Structure 1
Amino acid sequence: MAGPTTAERGERQQESSGPRSARRRLRVIVILAVVTVLLGVGGTWVLYGSDWLRVGHVSVSGTRVLTPAEVRKAAAVPVGAPMISIDTEGIEARLRRKLPRISTVDVVRSWPHGIGLKVTERIPVLLVQKSGQFVEVDDEGVRFATVPQAPEDVPLLKLSVSRRGSGAASLRRFGVDRLVREAVQVTGDLPAAVSRDTRTVQVRSYDDISLELVGARTVLWGSGEDGRTKARALTALMKAAPGARHFDVSAPIAPASSGS
């Protein structure tokens, strides 16, 4: 009797190797699954359970008035905690809440052991005198700190808004905060030379803002509108009349000066 043909032998080999191949694939899958689990467990342990990636120190940069110690205390970064568990957004919010002098802050992880606090402080552009102290106001009109002594070269804001006439109308329409922001805008539009000489910004109403400069000079600015045009007009006016003591740029197309 003739033996099996080549085709028949191939079919028999495939039938016998089929179960073996399936078992081999299953073993590979199981091994890969075990390796994946082990890697996951090991990675989790490294990040959360080991001493390799834990907070060891907190650095502070960008401070001007605040001290690094004040910032670290307010941040309350949990030294010794796993780096991965640090709530950076929570620390940023806490710093802005506890230290209003801070305008912006970035909390960054510096692997493997450091947390960095990059701080930007608010800079005062005006001061409001209150009970013998001075409230600092930044370029956004935010009153962010009270200090016992006035910082140098920061003008004093005087809110002399009358309860009658245009002053009362300004209060009803704009409110005190808006009038403060108008004064802030004026200081930002001043020519550099005038800004250095400005000692007081006085607000009587929305349309009546004036400056007191060194040398008993005054500037009637008017409203905070057309600030750049008024700045150019004031610069030209001061060059044309260097001995004048009073300048009026409330209507910048027709500026005027007087006194000597």
Structure 2
Amino acid sequence: MAAGPTTAEKSGASRPNGSSDRSPRGGDGEAREGRFRVPGPRPLLICSALILLVASGIWALYGSSWFRVERVTTSGTRVLTPREVEEVAAVPMGAPLVSVDTDAIEARLAERLPRVDTVDVVRSWPHGIGLRVTERKPVLLLEKGRRFVEVDSAGTRFATVDRAPRGVPKLVLDASASPSLRRFDTDRLLAEAVVVAGELPKKVAVDTRVVRVTSYDSITLELSGGRTVFWGSGEDGEVKARVLSALMKATPKAGHFDVSAPTAPAATGS
């Protein structure tokens, strides 16, 4: 009786030449060929067009004469002149508009022109730079010899002028004898005076000639016609302003008003 095929023979019969009996479902070569297919002409044309477009845009902004600085305009000046502002701004004429360093221009103006509160440097395509200036406004004046130092609403001393601007009260700091001077120095008293000046009723502000400060809680307003207002400290300013308006309306002929304690105001003299 003949022996049946061995296990090796069976294996050899089912896998001739030692190959797997799994039928191929697309060879590796075909997969690689599909995965790394060379792009056709259309994608290449699109990429080339995009590269050309970007290169053209860069050349137009930086290399061409189409978008270069040809003029500078200044707006918002009141005391300063546009020429003063533009000289300090030093905008590079003829430079590509896109490359102008607007932050550097703003920094120069802030450093060299203290009267400038804020400035916006804007590009005005295709050839302009605009300087939009906001100047500081004085709310008080400090006498300095025969000249006047302007102080704005933030307490900043920003300019010294020969002539006092019209409608701006003088500030007199006379706190040398104040026992609280060590606690509230002249800068703090100046700040308090600025706060008071900003909270005055409009009619009172127009009539105020002098703001006199002798201590933190002793601020007096000297008005036109020899009238005075004892304001006290800078606290409760809005309340004091309302009380003062009502008091002056009720006693129009009074010469002295006291709103240092707004719950108990007083008017005296005539």
Q: TM (normalized to structure 2)?
A: 0.83
1:198 equivalent among 200, 208, 219: 208
Separation (CA, whole Å) in 2 of partners of 1:168 and 1:121? 37
For residues 53-64 of structure 1, the aligned pairs below 5 Å read 53-64=67-78
Separation (CA, whole Å) in 2 of partners of 1:51 and 1:213? 61
Equivalenced residue count is: 239
Answer yes or no: is 1:153 the counterpart of 2:167: yes
Which consecutive residues of structure 1, in runs of 5 or more, have no partner in the other structure? 1-10
Code of the residue aligned with 1:241 in structure 2: it is: T
Separation (CA, whole Å) in 2 of partners of 1:93 and 1:208? 39
Separation (CA, whole Å) in 2 of partners of 1:211 and 1:221? 7
Q: What's 1:220 paired with?
A: 230
1:174-217 deviation digits (Å, cap 9, x = unpaired): 32222111111111111111111100000111100001001011
Q: What's 1:143 paired with?
A: 157
Separation (CA, whole Å) in 2 of partners of 1:96 and 1:168? 38
Separation (CA, whole Å) in 1 of partners of 2:99 and 2:256? 62
Answer yes or no: is 1:241 the counterpart of 2:251: yes
Report the Cα offset of residue 27 of structure 1. 4.2
Separation (CA, whole Å) in 2 of partners of 1:84 and 1:127? 42
Answer yes or no: is 1:176 the counterpart of 2:190: no
Separation (CA, whole Å) in 2 of partners of 1:40 and 1:232? 64
Counting helix residues as a fraction of each chain, which structure ranks higher? 1
Report the Cα offset of residue 30 of structure 1. 4.2
Which consecutive residues of structure 2, in runs of 5 or more, have no partner in the other structure? 1-25
1:43 partner SS: helix
1:174 partner SS: coil
Answer yes or no: is 1:74 the counterpart of 2:88: yes
2:195 equivalent among 185, 202, 215: 185
Q: What's 2:14 paired with?
A: none
Separation (CA, whole Å) in 2 of partners of 1:254 and 1:196? 25
Separation (CA, whole Å) in 2 of partners of 1:178 and 1:42? 59
Code of the residue aligned with 1:135 in structure 2: it is: V
Percent identity, aligned pairs only, is 60
1:62-106 deviation digits (Å, cap 9, x = unpaired): 111111111111111001000010111111111111111111111
Answer yes or no: is 1:88 the counterpart of 2:102: yes
Separation (CA, whole Å) in 1 of partners of 2:107 and 2:169? 31
1:212-259 deviation digits (Å, cap 9, x = unpaired): 001011111000111111112212221222221111111111111222
Higher Rg of the two aligned structures: 2
Separation (CA, whole Å) in 2 of partners of 1:194 and 1:68? 34
Separation (CA, whole Å) in 2 of partners of 1:189 and 1:35? 64
Code of the residue aligned with 1:243 in structure 2: it is: K
1:113-142 deviation digits (Å, cap 9, x = unpaired): 000111111111100011211111111111
Separation (CA, whole Å) in 2 of partners of 1:72 and 1:90? 13
Answer yes or no: is 1:41 the counterpart of 2:76: no
Code of the residue aligned with 2:111 in structure 1: it is: R
Code of the residue aligned with 2:245 in structure 1: it is: T
The CA RMSD measured in Å over matched residues stands at: 1.9
Q: What's 2:66 paired with?
A: 52
Aligned structure 1 segments of 4 or more residues deviating by more than 6 angstroms:
none
Q: What's 1:4 paired with?
A: none
Q: What's 2:124 paired with?
A: 110
